[in-house]
Structure 1
Amino acid sequence: MSTSALGPAAPRIPAELKVLIASAFIIAIGFGIVAPILPQYASDFGVSAFAVSAVVSAFGLFRLLFAPASGKLTQALGETPVYVIGLLIVAVSMIATAFAPNFELLLIFRALGGIGSTFFTVSAMTFLARKAPPRIRGRVSGAYASAFLIGNVAGPLLGSGLLVFGQRVPFLVYGGALVLAAGFVFIMLRGTRLEDRNNKDTRERATLAEAWAQTSYRAALTSAFANGWATFGVRNSIVPLFAASAFVGGGWVIDSSQLAGVALAVFAAGNVAVVLTLAKRSDEWGRRRPIMVGLTIAAVATGFLGLSPEPWVLLALSLIAGAGTGLIVPAQQAAVADIVGEGRNGGSVVSTFQMSQDLGGILGPLLAGFLVDYLDYAWAFGITGLIMLIGAAAWTAAPETLPSKTDSDP
């Protein structure tokens, strides 16, 4: 049967996006290295669970505060320069974190890292929305998410192993990885960087008012908030503390401090397994259904984490929660790209979406840390599961964003 009989072949992922995907993998390895260690590192300063959570929330708060600026900078300078600058800012903050002499400076260094993080995150999402052909947006989003997730599987395990060299070493390794990623993008996308710098952006801009008028965009903001609360907030702050404290002296095959890294790695493994196998299906099934199903699965698994009687139950629930999140992220990113539209500058639309996710990542750890201090872990995880269910409910009244075949590129 001829190709024409089957319809036009799907376009390939552009080379420029492959560079960004490779960079995402380098970043993710470094992030995965420090993720299970940071809460324990902060806790060693003798502070409460709420204070430890504030370290994660401060990072998210500065991402939120600088998200509008990142959108404007992306529109003014182009995606590539803002991406490289963001990576270098986070690299400096990580190296400073390694040598923080007290909790107050640790909090400041992590907060400053949030500025660079929002720079490279918003610029990358804008770049993906502009360059990804509509017919393969789900596949592109899935490939980008997979790069992060594969790194997040290996990173926590590597970070746990690096602990034998001291708690500072993982932060220095992450800082070095970010410098490598910045150099890689600077060299490989030099042509794009020069184009961004020398050519005025004449693309039509997708306005925030236009996006807000769509029910699907408001649903995306709600589900992004829920996902940020659970995945980028509570999971990176409370899960490591729970794993390190709830099973002390349990006689398991690894000690409790290493269990934190394994729990995050297992979550990432479930996440990447689903993304690699099902992410491209959002280009066939649509965006709405994977987001709703994924949030529901992740909500149930996360809600019961605090009741885990044994380490293996914690790991099993982490695996299921990761699988549910694997359905959410690619479909959600593709939905925002659909709303922006091909070839349009969506800096403000993307940055607002990112702000919603960051707001969840700020409030989630703070409330969860408060609940841990005054109630227990079961309450912290239970409320988190409820927030994710609210995110799923937001999509029940939202229309599908996947462009029709007539709107797709030929």
Structure 2
Amino acid sequence: MSDAAPGPQSRAQWARVLIAIYGPTLLASIGFGAIIPLIPLQATALGASPGVAAFITAIPGIGMLIFDLPAGTIAARLGERLSIVLACLLDAAIMVCVYLAGSITVLGLAVFIHGMTGSIFQLARQTYVTDAIPLKYRARGMSSLGGVFRIGSFIGPLAVSALISGGEIRNAFVFASCTSLVAAAVTMLLPKLSADRAQQVNAAGERPHTFKVLADHRHSLLTVGMGCMALMMLRTARQTIIPLWGEANGLPPHTVSLLYAVSMGFEVLLFFPGGMIMDRFGRWWVCVPTTFLLGIGLALLPVTHSAGSIAILAAILGMGNGISSGIVLTLGADAAPRFGRSQFLAGWRVLSDSGQFLGPMVISAATALSGLGAASVVIGALGVLGGGWLAKWVPRTPDQIADFRPKD
């Protein structure tokens, strides 16, 4: 795509690309957002302790982490459209299994597969956007992708709050199944798009091999990639601990879902300004302040006890997370080579998804030892350390992004 102002034909091409990127993402994220705050509550409804419930919440992250590298191969070989359709159809079936789950074991297995489908969906999306959006608009494109996900994550809990206020928590999983089916149907109606239009063969006629690609670009992965892992740990910890903290303070499930929707609402307001800041001033000025804000905010959670105070802190965390929408995707795209792009981004997702796994795991362990309040302080302190790491390694200005990108 050219950086020039689009003509009528270009605008039609852009419209097709934007619908292909954002339409299925919105639909799938509505269902995803609906169930995220309710997974720990469904676990406790099946008899799990708070520590076990936090572990159940970590299981989708484990599924994503294990399947990240295979997802890169799948997205490159099958193409974006077919990868998304298969992921959505499988996810729809899994949500029905969660609805029918009568034990913690069945619930855990179902949400594990849910994480695997999410890995395919998100890897295919990121790979395509990396190639389809020009560099000068990349952060806005990625932040909009994250913003659409946040819009869906705002609509989902809001809709489900009304749904479960007069019924069972598990009804939310039927709702999520329906949104995945609609996302699959919409994707099938779109033109076929390549999951990765980057180089498939290098000058020597070789095809990219995952572990060689990761070894060749290990510096980016072990510096900025590790910082992104810390940021994702904070984000997932927030999703886990706020519902559990609300329940521990006596709030009913529909109020907990509403509080989560409030947090997501503030995220939706700031995703595009965050992308503009990243494109104009540099990635550093978004990711570093956000990481510090999330870390400090989570450390302050134990001083909140009423619905109002929890809602205020959730809103602050939502604002901090919203302005950094798409930052992990953007930094991954900045660091990705053309040759072996899908394989590199799969490795990048291993690091970011490791953070998604570690957040609930740290909460689970710290909760078992000292309670939810202590867990929140621990995860907040780790987040502050992650902010310092990112401050050292992330390029500060747009001019430095070119130096950060690998030479093919």
* Structure 1 residue 306 displacement after superposition: 2.2
- Counterparts of 1:282 and 1:24, CA distance in 2: 22
Task: Give the Å deviation of 1:40.
Answer: 1.1
Kindly provide the CA deviation profile for residues 236-264 of structure 1, in whole angstroms up to 9, marking residues without a partner as x: 33221211221x2xxxxxx5322211221
Cα shift at 1:347: 1.3
- CA distance in structure 2 between the partners assigned to 1:335 and 1:196 by the alignment: 19
CA contact (8 A) 2:61 2:354 kept: yes
2:334, 2:401 within 8 Å by CA — same for their partners in 1?
A: no
Q: Which residue of 1 aligns with 2:73?
A: 72
**2:218 maps to 1:212:** yes
Deviation at 1:111, TM superposition (A): 0.9
Q: Does the CA contact (< 8 Å) of 2:98 and 2:110 recur in 1? A: yes
In the aligned structure 1, how far is the partner of 2:363 from the partner of 2:91?
26
Q: Displacement of 1:18 after TM fit?
A: 3.0
Contact 1:338 1:403 (C-alpha < 8 Å) held by counterparts: no
Q: CA deviation at 1:363?
A: 2.3
Is the contact between residue 87 and residue 182 of structure 1 (CA under 8 Å) also seen in structure 2? yes
State the Cα deviation string for residues 91-129 of structure 1 (Å, max 9, x = none). Answer: 111111000021111111111111111111111111111
Q: Deviation per CA, 1:322-353: give whole Å up to 9, x if none.
A: 11112333233212111125x65511221122
C-alpha displacement at 1:26, in angstroms? 0.9
Structure 2 residue aligned with 1:3: none
Query: Is the Cα–Cα contact under 8 Å of residues 294 and 328 in structure 1 kept in the other structure?
Result: yes
Residue 160 of structure 1 corresponds to which residue in structure 2?
Answer: 161
| Equivalent residue number for residue 148 of structure 1 | 149
| Unaligned ranges ≥5, structure 2 | 203-207, 403-408
Task: Encode CA deviations 1:42-75: one digit per residue, 9 max, x unaligned.
Answer: 1011121221122122211111111110111222
Does residue 260 (structure 1) correspond to residue 256 (structure 2)? The answer is yes
Q: Distance in 2 between matches of 1:107 and 1:203?
A: 40
Q: What's the secondary structure of 2:395's corresponding residue?
A: coil
Q: 2:277, 2:285 within 8 Å by CA — same for their partners in 1?
A: no
Partner residue, 2:180: 178
Whether the 8 Å contact between 1:130 and 1:344 is mirrored in structure 2 is no
1:348 partnered with 2:343: yes
CA 1:375–1:77 in structure 2 vs 1: closer, same or farther (change >3 Å)? same
What letter matches 1:317 in structure 2? L
Corresponding position of 1:230: 234
The answer to whether the 8 A contact 2:46-2:102 is kept is no
TM score, norm. by length of structure 1: 0.87
Question: Are 2:24 and 2:187, in contact at CA under 8 Å, matched by a contact in 1?
Answer: yes
Determine the C-alpha separation between the residues in 2 that align with 1:320 and 1:37. 21
Equivalent residues in 2 for 1:291-306, closer than 5 Å: 291-306=287-302
C-alpha change, 1:405 and 1:289, in structure 2 (3 Å) is: closer
2:406 matched to which residue of 1?
Answer: none
What amino acid maps onto 2:215 in structure 1? A
Q: 1:406 to 1:160 in 2, by over 3 A?
A: closer
Alignment deviations for residues 128-157 of structure 1 (CA, whole Å, 9 cap, x no partner): 112111111011111111111111122112
Distance 1:158 1:175 in 2: 14
Question: Residue type matched to 1:119 in 2?
Answer: I
Asked whether 1:398 is paired with 2:354, we answer no
Q: Structure 1 residue aligned with 2:360, among 352, 359, 365?
A: 365
Native 8 Å contact 1:37 1:160 kept in 2? no
Partner of 1:252: none
What aligned pairs does 1:11-410 form with structure 2 within 5 A after superposition?
A: 15-163=16-164, 164-189=166-191, 191-192=192-193, 202=200, 207-214=213-220, 217-232=221-236, 234-246=237-249, 248=250, 255-340=251-336, 345-400=340-395, 404=399
- Asked whether the 8 Å contact 2:124–2:195 carries over to 1, the reply is no
Contact 1:75 1:201 (8 Å CA) reproduced: no
Of 75-84 and 137-146, the range deviating more from structure 2 = 75-84
3-state SS, counterpart of residue 37 of structure 1? helix
State the one-letter code of the partner of 2:200.
T
In the superposition, relative to structure 1, how do residues 292 and 229 fare at CA in structure 2: closer, same or farther (>3 Å)? same
The runs of at least 4 aligned residues of structure 1 exceeding 6 Å deviation read none
Whether contact under 8 Å (1:270, 1:326) holds in the other structure is yes
| Partner SS, residue 167 of structure 1 | coil
Cα deviation, residue 200, structure 1: 11
Whole-angstrom distance in 2 between the partners of 1:81 and 1:170: 26
* SS of 2:217 mapped into structure 1: helix
Equivalents in 2 of 1:345, 1:182: separation in Å? 27
